[in-house]
């Protein structure tokens, strides 16, 4: 279980998050949504340890991890898929998936992850994760690296962005399969209604605060009725 | 003839040979003297009359053969200079493994200067590898200064991989090439320097014939207080294509300078230079740390990939 207590964060003298309290229960599928600039990505980075909160505490399974670094949190079972995946000269897709899994992988096993995210494995496995890959390809590889980690908490920051040629159904299948197989918690930052629709719990973050939280049946109808800046959620469907 | 364990180790590091090869042409040079040499039906290795080096003749249309000519130094206070000329016959295809290893346990400088000239006959293909390594715990410097000159006739092809990843205190690497019509050259260079090492690389390529092309790719890492200088000059004297690319990672107080020059003397010459120097990107470290690597492990992984 992940608990965020009274988390606040500012950057350049601007308050990004203000007194955020949030609990992610084990095995839950949680989607965080809300307007751009509302603090969603900042919150995900604070959970992964990439950013340190100004105040507040973070607990993982009851242990205070607020002062833990990125590596410690990763090894404690937190994975994070970047909104804008990083490129590396010389590091191959195989290297990255092997590092993610934390053990030697057969090519077949690594290829399996790629196939699941809709990439023809043999075309990609030995490619470098560099500028020759498109944004959409990088996003899928990013998702594959988190799948390979099989951790108890997987965070995805707008995984659907840039995945234009691959149907949303496949992306949703990936998350559902992951949820079923790993039995861990999945937290996705998304604007997409189809992704919101598979959530156990929806969290709306706006203006640096948790504006609404609850089961999708409760939160979603209100979302489309109020002006939270989420009107784009129905786009691209 | 038996090689010492030290020599075997150095040979393995430089030329991936475990011992004196049982087949193929080779010459193993240690401290300026030959430790063994063999010619084959198609590859003749002959010492030059003045003793300054070797002439290596590859017969026309030789296929799938290789020649190893590593130069090793296992003593302190050695200054070895060698001139090796490779004469590649028309249509021949050959792998050439050279390289130099210095094991210096003494306090005096040991230095190797290898001047290699390649005369590529029409339509010939050469894959050339050279690794430069410095070893030994002595305080004496290990200096390797390789010079490579290429004369490429019509439609010939040279691919060169040159690697220097550790232990060489100072290096000046000078490569030049003149390419005739249809000739192609690809050079990949990988360098890592640390401590107070210095490395200078200079490429001077003349694309003289229609359809000739050259690609120079240099990737380097400068750690600690080491210094590197990358110079490249590509001159297009015909309808040709030239591309040089210098990518460097700097760490600690490392310094890298890139001085590219491209000169088109022909309206159909197409020449490109790219250079990028910078420290390891913070988001690369963060990404690998989110996979469970420590910052140091992430750094190693990024550098290993970069220089792979």
Alpha carbon distance B34, B13 (integer Å): 18
- Disruptive mutation site among B163, B287, B297 for chain A (greatest number of A CBs within 10 Å): B287
- Is the Cβ–Cβ distance between A53 and A8 less than 8 Å? yes
Picking from A154, A132, A152, A153, the residue whose alpha carbon sits closest to that of residue A142 is A154
In 3-state terms chain A splits into helix, strand, coil percentages (rounded to 5) of: 35, 25, 35
- Is the Cβ–Cβ distance between A227 and A56 less than 8 Å? no
Q: Give chain B's mean pLDDT.
A: 93
A40-59 residue pLDDT tens: 999 999 999 999 999 999 99
A219-232 residue pLDDT tens: 888 776 544 444 44
Query: Least CA distance to B283: which residue of chain A?
Result: A86
Picking from B207, B187, B295, B188, the residue whose alpha carbon sits closest to that of residue B251 is B295
Spell out the residues 6+ positions from residue B261 whose beta carbon is closer than 8 angstroms to its own.
B231, B232, B233, B234, B273
A68-124 residue pLDDT tens: 999 999 999 999 999 999 999 889 999 999 999 999 889 898 999 999 888 888 889
Q: Is residue A121, in this structure, part of any structural domain at all?
A: no
* pLDDT score of A149: 94
Alpha carbon distance B4, B92 (integer Å): 35
pTM assigned to the model: 0.85
CATH number at residue A218: 3.40.50.300
* pLDDT score of A237: 36
Structurally, how many domains does chain B consist of?
1
Q: Is residue B292, in this structure, part of any structural domain at all?
A: no
Is the pLDDT assigned to residue A234 strictly greater than 70?
no
Q: Is residue B287, in this structure, part of any structural domain at all?
A: no
Q: Is residue B300, in this structure, part of any structural domain at all?
A: no
Q: Is residue B307, in this structure, part of any structural domain at all?
A: no
Structurally, how many domains does chain A consist of?
1
* pLDDT score of A165: 55
State the ipTM, two decimals.
Answer: 0.92
Q: Greatest CA separation found in chain B? A: 62
* pLDDT score of A194: 85
Alpha-carbon gap: A81 to the closest alpha carbon of chain B (Å)? 9
Q: Which residues of B touch A74 (CB under 8 A)?
A: 289-292
Is the pLDDT assigned to residue B1 strictly greater than 80?
no
- Is the Cβ–Cβ distance between B306 and B299 less than 8 Å? no
Q: Which residue has the tokens 């290789």?
A: B66
Alpha-carbon gap: A142 to the closest alpha carbon of chain B (Å)? 10
Query: Least CA distance to A98: which residue of chain B?
Result: B291
User: Strand A29-33 to strand A14-24: parallel, antiparallel, or no bridges (unpaired)?
Assistant: unpaired
* Parent domain of B123: 5-280
Give B94's strand partners.
B65, B126
B173-191 residue pLDDT tens: 999 999 999 999 999 999 9
Q: Which residues of B touch A71 (CB under 8 A)?
A: 289, 292-295
Picking from A29, A149, A167, the residue whose alpha carbon sits closest to that of residue A79 is A149
Q: Is residue A111, in this structure, part of any structural domain at all?
A: no
DSSP letter assigned to residue B267? T
Structure tokens at B33: 């003297």
Query: To the nearest 10°, the Cα dihedral for A13, A16, A19, A21?
Result: -160
Nearest to B292 among A90, A91, A102 (CB): A102
* pLDDT score of B145: 94
Q: Is residue A105, in this structure, part of any structural domain at all?
A: no
Picking from B168, B55, B37, the residue whose alpha carbon sits closest to that of residue B119 is B55
A165-213 residue pLDDT tens: 566 778 888 898 888 888 889 999 998 888 898 999 999 999 999 999 9
* Parent domain of A192: 2-85+152-234
Q: Is residue B285, in this structure, part of any structural domain at all?
A: no
Spell out the residues 6+ positions from residue A4 whose beta carbon is closer than 8 angstroms to its own.
A20, A21, A22, A23, A43, A46, A47, A56, A57, A58
Tell me the mean pLDDT in the region A146-161. 92
Q: Is residue A94, in this structure, part of any structural domain at all?
A: no
């Amino acid at each position: 279980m992940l608990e965020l207590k009274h988390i606040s964060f500012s950057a350049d003298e601007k308050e990004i998050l203000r007194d955020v309290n949030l609990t992610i229960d084990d095995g839950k599928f949680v989607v965080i949504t809300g307007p751009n600039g509302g603090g969603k990505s900042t919150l995900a980075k604070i959970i992964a340890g990439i950013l340190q909160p100004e105040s507040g505490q973070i607990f993982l399974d009851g242990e205070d991890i607020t002062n833990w670094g990125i590596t410690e949190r990763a090894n404690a079972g937190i994975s994070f898929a970047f909104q804008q995946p990083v490129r590396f000269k010389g590091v191959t897709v195989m290297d990255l998936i092997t590092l993610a899994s934390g053990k030697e992988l057969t090519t077949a096993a690594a290829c399996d992850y790629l196939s699941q995210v809709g990439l023809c494995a043999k075309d990609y496995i030995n490619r470098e994760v560099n500028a020759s890959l498109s944004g959409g390809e990088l996003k899928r590889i990013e998702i594959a690296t988190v799948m390979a980690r099989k951790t108890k908490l997987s965070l995805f920051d707008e995984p659907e962005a840039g995945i234009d040629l691959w149907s949303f159904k496949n992306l949703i299948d990936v998350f559902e399969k992951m949820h079923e197989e790993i039995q861990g918690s999945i937290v996705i930052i998304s604007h997409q209604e189809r992704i919101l629709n598979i959530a156990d719990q929806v969290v709306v973050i706006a203006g640096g605060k948790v504006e609404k939280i609850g089961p999708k049946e409760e939160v979603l109808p209100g979302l489309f009725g109020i002006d939270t800046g989420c009107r784009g959620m129905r786009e691209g469907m | 003839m038996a090689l010492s364990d030290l020599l075997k180790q150095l040979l393995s590091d430089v030329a991936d040979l475990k011992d004196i090869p049982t087949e193929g042409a080779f010459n193993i040079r240690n401290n300026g003297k030959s430790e063994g040499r063999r010619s084959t039906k198609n590859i003749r290795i002959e010492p030059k009359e003045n003793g300054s080096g070797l002439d290596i003749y590859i017969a026309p249309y030789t296929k799938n053969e290789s020649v190893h000519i590593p130069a090793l130094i296992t003593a302190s206070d050695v200054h070895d200079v060698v001139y090796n000329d490779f004469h590649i016959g028309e249509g021949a295809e050959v792998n050439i493994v050279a390289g130099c290893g210095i094991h210096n346990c003494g306090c005096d400088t040991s230095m190797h200067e290898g001047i290699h000239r390649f005369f590529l006959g029409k339509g010939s293909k050469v894959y050339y590898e050279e690794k430069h390594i410095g070893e030994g715990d002595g305080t004496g410097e290990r200096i390797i200064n390789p010079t490579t000159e290429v004369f490429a006739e019509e439609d010939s092809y040279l691919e060169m991989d040159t690697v220097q990843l550790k232990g060489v205190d100072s290096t000046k690497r000078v490569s030049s090439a003149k390419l005739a019509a249809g000739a192609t050259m690809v050079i990949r260079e990988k360098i890592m320097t640390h401590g107070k090492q210095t490395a200078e690389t200079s490429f001077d390529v003349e694309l003289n014939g229609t359809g000739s092309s050259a690609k120079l790719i240099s990737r380097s890492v400068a750690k600690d207080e080491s210094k590197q200088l990358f110079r490249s000059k590509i001159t297009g004297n015909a309808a040709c294509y030239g591309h040089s690319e210098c990518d460097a990672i700097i760490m600690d107080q490392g310094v890298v300078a890139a001085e590219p020059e491209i000169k088109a003397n022909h309206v159909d010459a197409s020449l490109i230079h790219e250079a990028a120097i910078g420290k390891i990107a913070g988001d690369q470290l963060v990404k690998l740390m989110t996979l469970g690597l420590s910052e140091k492990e992430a750094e190693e992984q990024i550098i290993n990939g970069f220089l792979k």
